[in-house]
Amino acid sequence: MINVNIDPRHINPVYRPYLNDQTRTQIFFGGASSGKSVFAAERCISDILKGDRNYLVVRNTGNTNKKSTFNEIRQVIYNWNLHGLFKINKSELTVTCANNQQIYFTGLDDVEKVKGIRPIKGVITDVWLEEATEINKDSYLQLTKRLRGISRVPKRLTFSFNPIMRTHWIYKEFFQNFQDSDRDYRDPHLAILKTTYKDNLFLAPEDAYYLENEKNEYYYKVYTLGEWGVLGHLIFKNWKTANLTGLRDAFSTYYNGLDYGYTNDPTAFARCAPKDNKLYITHGFYEYGMKNEQIAAEAKKTIGNREYLRCDPSEPKSTAELRGHGINAISARGGPGSVNHGIQYIQHFDEVIIDREMQYAINEFQTYQFELNKDGEVMNSPVDKDNHFIDALRYALSGVSFRPSDSQEDIGDLRTAMGLR
């Protein structure tokens, strides 16, 4: 055991009672920015220092760990001035403490890999499932099976997530005795804590402002109040996920689209191929803070400099810049009706198949819904949120979704770009 005094003032008061809690299943759920992830990372480091626990941190897809949980854990190490005590391996995604206790990070896209994890000392005692609503029940069951084995300390599973839909398996499995008005729940095997941004004493004021002024009822319920959401009229039901690794370059024609973002919104790129009335979504990226040069470099990896990239028409200047970086970028068709036109085009496929590594795309498909009016009636316009990847996809498909006579705008745009009018 390494004796480090952790100043309790670092930890949000609502979570402090859980710092040494040994309950087998612990659930931290609730609204956005309520401190769930930071606390899970803090408790992990505190446990590791004690010298008898090893952690496995999982997300549904491994590639999302690097930017989220791995960074959260590193932040805690640096904020608590403990970097002298930890070896951080960025390429293997492991964190090893001077007492040889370890933290591993993995995605459930490769549950087999979990079997191969052998900590230096003892076994994996703790699993933290971050954004656990992304995980399906099968992967969860497989994971728990692979973690059997004897350990000196009680094994624990810790969940953190936003309650995006009441029909979720997590609700059915763990929330039978939890009333909506409850703040916490406890039995010998299960502890649940619901938190909101109000519980986070470290929150930036502008984050509170956004949450308090949320106009959409569903988003207010889930992300501001931290309550189980009921999805309204879902826009896409014709989709599934699959491992498309083997199909990445298998199609003769691809369509590519880009939605610009920067600080508050991500930049999203979509690459897809329609075939036999199915739409295969094989590539993408989704990142905050990307400059146009980086976007060009990233897009070039998959589309080279010949394929068209159809971009958000509201930013022609950025699109011109992408052309300057050697991308065959043009503005997608926008204007009145183009959103619904694009949606209907995506809906017309028998099936949309999304590569299972593209969690950001899956998340958007799962919750993209039509606006409801005051009386709860379904409107004809989608909720303008969590639609960055979907917008990129609409732009991509604007290359085929409009009739030939409609598609003059592409050529028109190229002409403008070339100074021909």
Ligand X SMILES: Nc1ncnc2c1ncn2[C@@H]1O[C@H](COP(=O)(O)OP(=O)(O)OP(=O)(O)O)[C@@H](O)[C@H]1O
Q: Which does 333 bind (CB under 5 to 8 A by kind): Mg ion, ligand X, none?
A: none
82 scored as a contact of ligand X (CB under 6 A): no
Partner whose binding site includes residue 33, from Mg ion, ligand X, none (CB under 5 to 8 Å by kind): ligand X
Residues contacting ligand X: total by CB under 6 A = 14
Query: Does 33 engage in binding with ligand X (CB under 6 A)?
Result: yes
> Which of 37/267 has CB closer to Mg ion?
37
How far, CA to CA in Å, does 190 sit from each of 3, 24, 159, 185, 218?
Answer: 29, 6, 11, 8, 28
Is 224 a binding residue for ligand X by CB under 6 A? The answer is no
Residues that bind Mg ion (CB under 5 A): 37
Select 35 or 261, whichever has its Cβ closest to ligand X.
35
Nearest to 281 by CA among 370, 386, 359: 359
- Paired strand residues for 409: none
Interface mask toward ligand X for 102-131; x: CB under 6 A: ------------------------------
The binder of 231, among Mg ion, ligand X, none, by C-beta within 5 to 8 A per type, is none
User: Which of 46, 162, 363, 387 contacts ligand X by CB under 6 A?
Assistant: 162
Contact indicator for 322, 292 with CB cutoff of 8 Å:
yes
Report the residue from 14, 23, 26, 35 that binds ligand X according to the rule CB under 6 A: 35
Dihedral of the alpha carbons of 55, 58, 64, 68, in degrees to the nearest 10: -40
DSSP annotation of 272 reads: E
Q: Which is nearer to ligand X, 64 or 319 (CB)?
A: 64
In DSSP notation, 335-380 reads STTHHHHHHHHHHTSSEEEEETT-HHHHHHHHH-BEEE-TTSPEEE
Q: Where are the alpha helices (H) located in 203-314, listed in sequence order?
A: 205-212, 217-219, 292-303
Q: Kindly state the smallest distance separating residue 171's Cβ from ligand X, in Å.
A: 17
Asked if 241 and 355 touch (Cβ cutoff 8 Å), the reply is yes
32 scored as a contact of ligand X (CB under 6 A) = yes
Distance separating alpha carbons of residues 396 and 272, to the nearest angstrom: 8
Which part of the chain contacts ligand X (CB under 6 A), choosing from 6-14, 52-60, 135-143, 375-383? Answer: 6-14
Using the rule CB under 6 A, which residue among 19, 88, 93, 203 binds ligand X?
Answer: 203
The three-state secondary structure class of 87 is strand
| Interface residue list for ligand X (CB under 6 A) | 10-12, 32-38, 162, 200, 202-203
